[in-house]
Every structure is written in C-alpha cells, then in structure tokens.
Amino acid sequence: MNQYDIIIIGTGAGGGTLVHALKDSGKKILVLERGTYLPREKENWDSIAVFHHDRYHTKEVWKTNDEKDFHPQTGYWVGGNTKVYGAALFRLREKNFEGVTHIDGTTPEWPLKYKDLEPYYTEAEKLFNVHGKMGEDPTEPFRSGEYPNPPVSHEPRIQELHDELKAKGYNPFRLPIGVRLKENDMLNSPCIRCDTCDGFPCMIHAKADADTNCVRPSLSDTNITLMTEVKATKLITDASGKTVTRVEAERGDEKFSFSADIVVVAAGAINSAILLLASANDMHTNGLANSSGMVGRNLMKHNNAAMLAISTKANPTKFQKTLAVNDFYWGDDEFKFPMGHVQLMGKSNKDQISPDAPFFTPGLVLEEMANHSVDWWFTGEDLPLADNRVTLKNGQIYIQYTDTNTKGFERLKNKWSDVLKDVDDVTHFIPHSLYLKKNIPLEGLAHQCGTCRFGNDPKNAVLDINCITHDVDNLYVVDGSFFPSSGAVNPSLTIIANALRVGEHLLERMK
C-alpha cells in the first residue's frame, strides 16, 4: 500500500526535524532519503579520509555555467549535512528579518519577524542540545530564556586569547554549540571533547545532528516508514496542476511510486530546487511551483573563509570551537555597513593544512605550524541575486554563482588579522582552503540556502509564510531553501526552528 498521509523527502536539518515534529501525529508518514546511515568507522575521525579523500561527500559532478566540472562539498546521509557540520547553532539577529542595508545592496524583509520565530528557536536549542550563555554576545537577539545547557568551556590557550581580547575591549563570547557534553561529569559524558568534530562525523554519536536527535528517536513509532537509498526523482500533479498526486523515486534500477495527501520536499536548497525543476509538466512548464520564476534563483552560500593564525605561542587545544566574536557584525566606527561574524573552527592538524603550505614544506614544519596556529572561520552575508541560481539541463545540475557583497567581508578578515597581531603575537596568516575547497569556490556549498524563498507575493516568492508553494496546495519545501536572505551566522538553527514552526502548522492542517 503506497498511500500515505504525508511524504517527507530528505532527512537533514529541515526534513529530519520535521520527522521529529510530526512523530506523535498518528499520521502515516513516509520518509524518503537518498543516502544511507553514515557508517560508524575509524575513518570518521581520520583527516585524510575526511578532507583529502572526501569520504563523506557525494561523488556527483555538478557544472558551472561555463561547463567546468566540480564536486560539491555536500553529503547524502540520514541526517543530511548535519552529520558533518560543526554544530555551531546560532539565531539570526532581529534586524536580519527586517531587511539590512549593506554596502553592495539591501536584503529583503522576511514575511515573519524574529519574535515569531523566537519560541521555535528556543525549542530548537533544546532539541539539538545547544550549550551557550545568554548575555555574552552584544548582538544577541531577545531570548525568552537561558540556553538549555551551560556554555562549553575554553581550553587554556583559548581562555588566554579570550582574556587578551577582553582586555583590549572586544566582546568574545562562548559559541553556542550542539553537543551532548557533560563537563561536570566527564566520566559519563557522551562527548569527549575531541579534536575531530568540525567537518567530521562523530564516531560515538555525541554530536547533536538530525539523524541521532530527530530521525532515529522517531522511528520506534510504527506510523513512520523511513526508506533509505531512495532518491525522489519527480513529483506528478493532477490535471489541474494544483495537487501533487504522486512521488516517483528510485533505488538504483528499482522504481517506486508513492502517493500522499501532503508532500514535503526537504532535500537541501540545491536538490529541492532541482526536484521542482525536474517535475515540470504541462501546467508548470518552467518547473513545478515556479510561476514566479524564482525556483532555483537567489542561491546564497555565505561569504565564508578560513584562516590559520600562527603565533609564537603553542596551541595544544583539542576542542577549539568554543569562541566567537560579533563586534563587527554590523560594522564599526570606520565602516558603517555589516562586515560579518568570526568564530573558531575545529583545530587543524598537519594533514589538514598541508594543501595550503608551499609544496616543499617538510612534515615537521607543518606539524610546528599546526601546533602554533589558532584556526578562524569568517562568515559574511551574501546577497540574494536572481542570477545566482541552480538549473537543470538534460539531467545535469548547473550552478551559476557570482560573489556578492565582498567589501565588508574583506574588511572583516583584515580587521581580524590586525586585532590578532595586536593581542596575540601572531606572526603569519595562512588562508585555509581544505575545509572550504576555496580553489574552486563553488565546491564550498555548505551554507546553501534561498532557492525557493518564502514571501507574501506569489509573483516573486515560491513559498508562502507556511512554506506551502504558492502554486500547489499540498506541496511544501522545508529546508534551507526558504531563506529570503542569509544573515551572517551559520544557518542550521534557523532551518531547524522553521521546520518546527511548519510542523506545528502541519499538525493543525492535518487535524
């Protein structure tokens, strides 16, 4: 019997969270996931396997519009990209929802405001074991309560850096992060604070991800069926074009056809747009739910960069992703436009930095560099441009993306280099490309969003405020696609909070 109340396609931050939100609904739910469970194996924590051999990334080849091939830095697993994410779980700021003026343009206002999402952010932080401390980040939006878990402490080298920054008048804060850590009872703590977290899967399932926090705990409920290694290929509508009647899918050569009253696409911003474009029919000639022409457009992925700051001081830190700085998020006295966000990355070892070092650098020098570096991650807001887009031609995924709003971001990186020289005895800066794959910038699609934005006007938005497509009554998109703008903090908590919000709406609709 292939008839369901609801089909959810994809189990990442959006889809996985929605599975959790609907688990007690009593509805018959089918979850289609093109990946399998990410295996627990020694390679989970092996830098060479993870970063050099791309063990957990798809082998798919996508193309740029000028026909250059690239391997996208994305993975297909139960839990989606949250299996390898750094679990830095931030709320957007209030102003991000209002429309922000940048040096290169203005971002659109969201159809809902921060206060509408605040209760769901609170629930999302509980669901994803977020640790943090209210009141430390000067740009923090209103919070209705303290974080559900205490902040993760800095190791001594990072505490020293924190104290130096504080002494100079900056406002470093403890980074909100989703891990199952009990610092006051390490003997019984699932998380061991290891040095292979950010960008790696967690071998011992201590990272809060959509698989272990949402999907697996929901499956004991027999009304939910998860089919892994099943890729949704096409959505079929009735003759009116107003209702999706079937989902076509495949596992290798095996073909499936499923029906449901409601279909939710949560395949990640790029693959969700691709699925809609692949589902064009006589009623939807430009792609399903694409009367606005916006499906696949406004692709954002953040201006991201990673940098190693090498100083005379040794850095034996293991779990480094504990500190962030938002002092330049909205600009500073000299530059009145937003610059972006600074946070620590996982601690790099010599294998991770080797591709950025000159080819003659011997292993020992690399090791010294790694032992004396602090690793920083920068995020700046990229603007939603209609020409930055995902398209499908003869079954091939194409990505067209031109950098936007880079002036503030460049300033942020320079500013932070100056700060570190001043406070931390830093002697060298090395751009760090392995994590980002910055030599082919498009590969670094980790923060992809915006390809089916939500908005009140069906002429320029794909989704309405509840993430139902304006054109098709029983079709939803619930992942990073809905963002009208990207802000400058990591996207997952907003994707999760929104999925909880849409889940509540769906429970009401299906009553």
Ligand X SMILES: Cc1cc2nc3c(=O)[nH]c(=O)nc-3n(C[C@H](O)[C@H](O)[C@H](O)COP(=O)(O)OP(=O)(O)OC[C@H]3O[C@@H](n4cnc5c(N)ncnc54)[C@H](O)[C@@H]3O)c2cc1C
Q: Given candidates 38, 269, 390, 463, which one binds ligand X under the rule CB under 6 A?
A: 269
Q: Given candidates 179, 264, 308, 342, which one binds ligand SF4 under the rule CB under 6 A?
A: 179
Return the amino acid letter for 125. E
Q: Does 88 bind ligand SF4 (CB under 6 A)?
A: no
Tokens of 299: 């692709």
By CB under 6 A, the count of residues binding ligand SF4 is 13
* Per-residue interface string for the shown chain with ligand SF4, residues 304-323, x marking contact by CB under 6 A: ---------------x----
Q: Given candidates 4, 14, 356, 405, which one binds ligand X under the rule CB under 6 A?
A: 14
Measured from the CB atom, is 260 or 426 closer to ligand X?
260
Tokens of 327: 């002092």
Q: Given candidates 194, 236, 392, 465, which one binds ligand SF4 under the rule CB under 6 A?
A: 194
Backbone angles phi, psi at 341, to 5 degrees: -120, 145
Tokens of 110: 């969201």
Q: Given candidates 81, 149, 196, 237, which one binds ligand X under the rule CB under 6 A?
A: 81
Geometric angle at alpha carbon 121, from 117 and 124, rounded to 5°: 135
CB atoms within 10 A of CB 59: 6
| Most distant CA atoms of the chain, gap in Å | 70
CA 392 vs. chain centroid, Å, equals 23
Interface stretch with ligand SF4, choices 191-199, 241-249, 423-431, 486-494 (CB under 6 A) = 191-199
Query: What is the per-residue DSSP string for 78-140?
Result: TTGGGGTS--B--PPPGGGGT--EETTEEPPPPSS-HHHHHHHHHHHHHHTTEE--TT-STTP
Q: Output the smallest distance, CB 219 to ligand X, in A.
A: 15
* Per-residue interface string for the shown chain with ligand X, residues 271-290, x marking contact by CB under 6 A: x---x---------------
d(Cα 429, Cα 311) in Å, to the nearest integer?
9
Q: Does 329 bind ligand X (CB under 6 A)?
A: no
Q: Does 484 bind ligand X (CB under 6 A)?
A: no
Interface stretch with ligand X, choices 102-110, 263-271, 289-297, 327-335 (CB under 6 A) = 263-271
Return the amino acid letter for 20. H
Q: Given candidates 191, 374, 434, 445, which one binds ligand SF4 under the rule CB under 6 A?
A: 191
Q: Out of ligand X, ligand SF4, none, which partner does residue 107 contact, by CB within 5 to 8 A per kind?
A: none
Check if the beta carbon of residue 151 is closer than 8 Å to that of residue 174.
yes
Closest CA to 399 of 442, 429, 335: 442
d(Cα 47, Cα 50) in Å, to the nearest integer?
5
* Per-residue interface string for the shown chain with ligand X, residues 85-124, x marking contact by CB under 6 A: xxxxx-----------------------------------
Check if the beta carbon of residue 84 is closer than 8 Å to that of residue 435.
no
Residue nearest to ligand SF4 (CB): 197
Q: Does 301 bind ligand X (CB under 6 A)?
A: no
Question: Where on the chain is the footprint of ligand X (CB under 6 A)?
Answer: 9-15, 32-35, 73, 76-77, 80-82, 84-89, 199, 231-232, 266-269, 271, 275, 446-447, 479-480, 490-492, 495
